Amino acid sequence: MPLEIGATAPEFTLKDQNNQEVSLSDFKGKKNVLLVFYPFAFTGVCEGEMCGIRDNIAAYQNDDTAVLTVSVDSPFAHKVWAEREGFEFPLLSDLWPHGEVAQAYGVFNDEKGMANRGTFVIDKEGVVRFSEMNMPGDARDQQGWQKALKGLSA
């Protein structure tokens, strides 16, 4: 089960597609975070969802909010995918320890060794304000994310 609304978001530090460390605490007190877990780079539904973020980036990433995406792919796979698709938001690698962050957020799929489609909106104080989990192959409705983010800035 994914983390519930009202839970404190677990801290993490992961490497992005440029091999730079990104921590959730980098945003505490500064920005809300849209945290999006996905199974794998270069797959149909995942690519569609990440392109949806890219194509609507102003709705997700601005002075008040940052976007962080996470999968068990390596930073090197993320680099190629980001360059190919024009993703400028962080694609974070939860490769090792394998799926540790996805496990902490309750969205790791033990059977398949990957993250399910977990989405969390975390406020500036590190509290989960939106939580959902879809299974692999089940695309998410990004309108819910936008509504949750708007609710934080209201």
Just list the catalytic residues.
46
**Beta strands at 65-71 and 91-93: parallel, antiparallel or unpaired:** parallel
Mean pLDDT of the chain: 95
Domains of the chain (ranges, CATH numbers): 13-153 (3.40.30.10)
DSSP state of 3: P
Q: Which of 44, 49, 42, 48 is nearest to 67 (CA)?
A: 49
Average pLDDT over residues 11-36: 98
pTM, entire model = 0.95
Whether the Cβ atoms of residue 38 and residue 50 lie closer than 8 Å to each other: yes
Over residues 1-5, the mean pLDDT reads 95
- Residues ≥6 apart with Cβ < 8 Å to 44: none
CA distance 93 to 4: 23
Residues 54-93 pLDDT 10s: 999 999 999 999 999 999 999 999 999 999 999 999 999 9
